[in-house]
Amino acid sequence: MEIRYPLKAAYSQKIESLLNALSTDVNDGLSTVEASLRSKYFGLNIYKSQKRKSLWVMAFEQFNSPIVYLLLVAGFASLYFKNQAEAVAIFIVIVVNAMIGFFMELQARISMRALRDMDISFSRVIRGGKSCEIPSEQLTPGDLLLLEAGDVVSGDGRIVLINGLQVDESPLTGESFPVIKTIETLNDDGTAAAKNMVYKGTAVMNGNARVIITAIAEHTELGKISEMVGRSTSTQTPLDLKISKLTKKLIWITLVMTGIFAISGVIERKPWLQILETSIALAVAAFPEGLPIVATVALAYGMLLMARKNAIVKKLSSVETLGGVNVILTDKTGTLTENKIFVEVLSFPSQELDVSIKNGLLEFKKSGIEKSRENLLLLTRIGSLCNNVPLNVSDKDKKSFGDPIEVALLILADAAGYPVKNTTEEFKRIAEMPFSSETKLMCTLHKGIDGFLVSAKGSVESLLLKCKSMQSGNAIGDLNNDERRKILLNAERLSALGLRVLAFAYLSYTERPGDDYLHDLTYVGMVGFLDPPRTDIKDAISACHSAGIKIVMITGDHPMTALNIAKKVGITAADDNKVIAGSELPEIESLEEEWKERILSTSVFARTTPKQKLEIVDVYQKAGFIVAMTGDGVNDAPALKKADVGIAMGLRGTQVAKETASIVLKDDSFSSISQAVAQGREIFQNIQRFVIYLVSCNLSEIFIVTLLGFLADGAMLFPLQILFLNMVTDVFPALALGLGKGDTTVMQRPPRDPKLDIISNRNWLVILIYALIITGSVLLAIYLCKIYVTADVRVLNNVAFLTLAAAQLFHVFNMSSLHSGIAKNEVTRNRFVWLALLLCFLLIAVVYFFPKSRAALNLNLISHQAWLTVLIASILPILLVQLHKIVFKKRVVLGHFSKTDN
């Protein structure tokens, strides 16, 4: 390969010499073979610094925690005091715990990687003369990249064809005003941001272009900066912060307990070694070792489930926020509707026709086309020319390559027998005013054999403002106010039927017009497209309503179309005709209280601009709502960013929207949002559940150690016994709870405020009660054993340990929701819970039956009677709590998953 790379100053070279230097073609691009060769030669288009943490580092990090340091001290102290068995046991616990942590982190990492793989970006290129989509990482120098509004540029390149291209280069320059690009060769020292170049990471705001790629990966301007600055890897989510706040609280509780214990020990003149040992036991007991990692695993696993249900979460923090969302601002086309568009009505000045396309042929339902043949011809011509769907791809691919409305127009032209290909060859496009949701218009200028032709399409209101005359059959007449009113009324009537209406106009010139060619057009007619609501949408919306989430439609479409669809899908009641059109909305600065209330009480907004979407988000947020907002266009990015949860459409969304959003929907469907909300709530409920479980277990250990210190010194638990419970057996049931399915009422409760702590005051009370019950059961076991079996302190200790172990394991069943059944609930249905219990009981059996491990944990083989006391006492907590559940099934007293407090 003769390419000298990286290329210097591509902006100052003539396009031809650049093409030569890169051995590529301005029309056909690289051949596929050449592209793959180059991809191998130049490497993938990704930054080298995007490296992952090595497994060694991950393994090492498992030992990097204060509790492990403390345990190492305890281990070495045991060695020093010649208690080798205990030292070995402590080291084994440390290693086992590190292994559990390592595999859990690995699992979380695998889930996150799977998630990232679903979120790869694509670029449109021409290879071997054909347009195709490739993963952006395969882009290579010499590729011919196609850009249009909404794209994020995936490599640096020189513009070779341009149509009103405007690019937001703020990632590179910090300047957020769009830069107007040019195709001219520059002599000046353009360096970082030349006007005839586009740069990786910048966003196309307007227009379109073809670009020859000159640099990829770290050779791009942004790549150089990223390599210099390095990437920040810290991603602390609000959940992480809450967990560390909770951990700190527990540490304080421990310190206080340890303090009380140590002072009383000193007063009672207990041996120093005993005070020290018990203090360490307390510290170990209280520290919720498994908490952060179980939370990470639960989060990552839940996110993977969400992704399988078509919602890819890009920002970890959104999972929690999503569960708290109480209003969803959604667009209509494609999210609530199928976005499979069928032509239903053709409306011309002289007649209106109900039509359908069957077997590729246009059929007229009632009357024939005679009076409007000329209009149909013009309309199909405009629809074919003012159209950005590539013709050189198959019919199936067209759907993924273009706006469905434009695909439908090509299908209409074909069905009407219009020669689309010949026409596009005959009328070469020489300029374009691309569609934008602000203007709601698209217009193209073409050079024909004997003149120039302007083709325009757009919303009826916008297009009529650009029209001066109208075509009726072969005659062109004046478009007076009466005619305008008639057309607008017609459009309104069609919209009220739920149709998407698009109007068409044209103008011929003999000379090439100036840049401002969108005026004095001749109106030709309208097409009413049927875009039916998605089949599953009604259920999804009613699920959201019963979950206390308000749904608001904000669309660019006609108010009547919007209202019709809103009623069909259940966003508004059949008799609710409230709709606010964008033109009615005052500027946000002058928004009075009365208007804010009107906005908050209206569920349908139509003909809105992206700026107004942003303003509506603002009104909701100021009123205290947690807002999820959907968007797809390049101009939706600010609103997506502002919303608490920005949701972009994976199929029809622009890359800019996808990069800005915190969630991307793979299938663009609203139902996926409602499922994601349910999953978000489930994840949070799971996290809350295992936190309650772990903390109540930890607290019971603290209580037991402290109380035994005072009441039954000899039966005191040994540090290693607590360590075993806390670092080995507690973790598995907690993890199982973290991976479970939520209870069935998760979407029947109001959303919770994501700003609240994981554990509410009521939850703390519940935790305290659980801990006291478990403590009581251990004391009961000791008491029963002392009265009926033996007063041998070694046996009493063993009974205390085994009762605590079993009671904690059974306690996992207390974690089911108060609303669910006793035998059949989300915990008993969770197979991970059963697996965890099996594993933990096996571990206890192994420790109990092997003399070495038994000795290390100070255990003895105890009598059947002693075992009976263990059994009776350990099932007491579960019996008590389940009894409470039966008695108070309807009244929420002890429950932490109440109607108001999830």
The residues assigned a catalytic role are: 331
Provide, rounded to whole angstroms, the least separation between the CB of residue 388 and ligand ATP. Answer: 8
Q: In which residue are the tokens 């006391």 written? A: 869
Provide, rounded to whole angstroms, the least separation between the CB of residue 399 and ligand ATP. Answer: 14
Question: Residue 790, SS3?
Answer: coil
Per CB under 6 A, the list member of 38, 440, 534, 811 interacting with ligand ATP is: 440
Per CB under 6 A, the list member of 157, 324, 458, 709 interacting with ligand ATP is: 458
Per CB under 6 A, the list member of 557, 644, 659, 668 interacting with ligand ATP is: 557
CA 268 to each of CA 273, 544, 547, 645, 712: distance values in angstroms, whole numbers, following the listed order? 14, 61, 57, 58, 14
Nearer to ligand ATP, 438 or 792 (CB): 438
* Cβ pair 344, 530 in contact under 8 A: yes
Judged by CB under 6 A, the chain residues 102 through 121 that form the site for ligand ATP are none
What are the residues whose beta carbons fall under 8 Å from the beta carbon of 53, sequence distance 6 or more? none
Strands 156-168 and 197-198: antiparallel
Nearer to ligand ATP, 169 or 432 (CB): 432
Provide, rounded to whole angstroms, the least separation between the CB of residue 652 and ligand ATP. Answer: 8
The reply on whether position 210 binds ligand ATP by CB under 6 A is: no
Exposed e or buried b for every residue in 229-261, given b needs 16+ CB within 10 A? eeeeeeeebebbebbeebbeebeebbeebbeeb
Provide, rounded to whole angstroms, the least separation between the CB of residue 116 and ligand ATP. Answer: 28
Nearer to ligand ATP, 313 or 386 (CB): 386
Stretch that binds ligand ATP, among 16-24, 331-339, 730-738, 766-774 (CB under 6 A): 331-339
Per CB under 6 A, the list member of 435, 452, 620, 718 interacting with ligand ATP is: 435
Rg, the chain, Cα only:
34
Residue from 296, 254, 285 nearest 100 by CA: 296
The reply on whether position 331 binds ligand ATP by CB under 6 A is: yes
Stretch that binds ligand ATP, among 67-75, 325-333, 592-600, 877-885 (CB under 6 A): 325-333
Distance of alpha carbon 540 from alpha carbon 560, whole angstroms: 23
What are the residues whose beta carbons fall under 8 Å from the beta carbon of 141, sequence distance 6 or more? 3, 5, 7, 22, 38, 42, 155, 213, 214, 215, 216
Provide, rounded to whole angstroms, the least separation between the CB of residue 443 and ligand ATP. Answer: 9
Provide, rounded to whole angstroms, the least separation between the CB of residue 607 and ligand ATP. Answer: 7
Nearer to ligand ATP, 147 or 198 (CB): 147
Residues in the chain: 902
Strands 327-330 and 627-631: parallel
Per CB under 6 A, the list member of 151, 218, 406, 432 interacting with ligand ATP is: 406
Tokens of 163: 């149509």
Size of the site for ligand ATP (CB under 6 A): 19
Q: Classify residue 843 by its DSSP letter.
A: H
Nearer to ligand ATP, 181 or 500 (CB): 500
* Cβ pair 521, 466 in contact under 8 A: yes
Nearer to ligand ATP, 299 or 566 (CB): 566
Nearer to ligand ATP, 10 or 566 (CB): 566
Per CB under 6 A, the list member of 196, 310, 459, 825 interacting with ligand ATP is: 459
Provide, rounded to whole angstroms, the least separation between the CB of residue 333 and ligand ATP. Answer: 4
Nearer to ligand ATP, 143 or 461 (CB): 461
CA 867 to each of CA 43, 206, 796, 803, 863: distance values in angstroms, whole numbers, following the listed order? 66, 77, 11, 9, 6
Helix extents (H) in 465-591: 481-496, 537-546, 559-569
CA 549 to each of CA 225, 326, 625, 662: distance values in angstroms, whole numbers, following the listed order? 43, 4, 10, 19
Per CB under 6 A, the list member of 437, 635, 825, 874 interacting with ligand ATP is: 437
Distance of alpha carbon 440 from alpha carbon 794, whole angstroms: 83
Nearer to ligand ATP, 538 or 889 (CB): 538
Residue from 326, 327, 747 nearest 554 by CA: 327
Residue nearest to ligand ATP (CB): 556
Tokens of 141: 């120098």
Provide, rounded to whole angstroms, the least separation between the CB of residue 174 and ligand ATP. Answer: 30
Please count the CA atoms within 13 angstroms of the CA of 48 that sit on its side-chain side.
9
Stretch that binds ligand ATP, among 453-461, 583-591, 696-704, 782-790 (CB under 6 A): 453-461
The reply on whether position 200 binds ligand ATP by CB under 6 A is: no
Q: In which residue are the tokens 């108070």 written? A: 888
Tokens of 497: 């039927």
Provide, rounded to whole angstroms, the least separation between the CB of residue 505 and ligand ATP. Answer: 11
- Site map (CB under 6 A) of ligand ATP, residues 21-50, x = contact: ------------------------------
The reply on whether position 556 binds ligand ATP by CB under 6 A is: yes
Nearer to ligand ATP, 607 or 749 (CB): 607
The reply on whether position 555 binds ligand ATP by CB under 6 A is: yes
Longest dimension (CA), the chain: 113
The reply on whether position 506 binds ligand ATP by CB under 6 A is: no
Judged by CB under 6 A, the chain residues 606 through 625 that form the site for ligand ATP are none
Report the amino acid identity of residue 651: L
Per CB under 6 A, the list member of 237, 333, 635, 775 interacting with ligand ATP is: 333
Nearer to ligand ATP, 214 or 335 (CB): 335
Provide, rounded to whole angstroms, the least separation between the CB of residue 442 and ligand ATP. Answer: 4
Provide, rounded to whole angstroms, the least separation between the CB of residue 249 and ligand ATP. Answer: 46
Distance of alpha carbon 900 from alpha carbon 678, whole angstroms: 16
Stretch that binds ligand ATP, among 125-133, 515-523, 551-559, 690-698 (CB under 6 A): 551-559
The reply on whether position 332 binds ligand ATP by CB under 6 A is: yes
Stretch that binds ligand ATP, among 191-199, 328-336, 793-801, 818-826 (CB under 6 A): 328-336
Stretch that binds ligand ATP, among 434-442, 516-524, 827-835, 863-871 (CB under 6 A): 434-442
The reply on whether position 647 binds ligand ATP by CB under 6 A is: no
Q: Classify residue 155 by its DSSP letter.
A: S
Per CB under 6 A, the list member of 204, 442, 464, 467 interacting with ligand ATP is: 442
Q: What are φ and ψ of residue 551, in 5° steps?
A: -115, 130
Please count the CA atoms within 13 angstroms of the CA of 816 that sit on its side-chain side.
23
Nearer to ligand ATP, 289 or 636 (CB): 636
Cα 699 → chain centroid: 36
Q: Taken in order 751, 755, 757, 760, is the CA torsion positive or negative?
A: negative
Provide, rounded to whole angstroms, the least separation between the CB of residue 462 and ligand ATP. Answer: 7
- Site map (CB under 6 A) of ligand ATP, residues 365-404, x = contact: --------------------------------------x-
Q: Taking each helix axis from N to C terminus, what angle separates 537-546 and 559-569, rounded to the nearest 10 degrees? A: 80
Distance of alpha carbon 20 from alpha carbon 25, whole angstroms: 8
Stretch that binds ligand ATP, among 120-128, 411-419, 550-558, 838-846 (CB under 6 A): 550-558
Q: In which residue are the tokens 């947690």 written? A: 626
Nearer to ligand ATP, 329 or 687 (CB): 329
Peptide bond into 6 cis (omega under 30): yes
Distance of alpha carbon 345 from alpha carbon 435, whole angstroms: 23
* Cβ pair 630, 649 in contact under 8 A: yes
Judged by CB under 6 A, the chain residues 465 through 504 that form the site for ligand ATP are 500, 502
Residue from 122, 326, 321, 753 nearest 313 by CA: 321
Provide, rounded to whole angstroms, the least separation between the CB of residue 255 and ligand ATP. Answer: 57
Distance of alpha carbon 180 from alpha carbon 194, whole angstroms: 11
**Contact set with ligand ATP (CB under 6 A):** 331-333, 403, 405-406, 435, 437, 440, 442, 457-459, 500, 502, 555-558
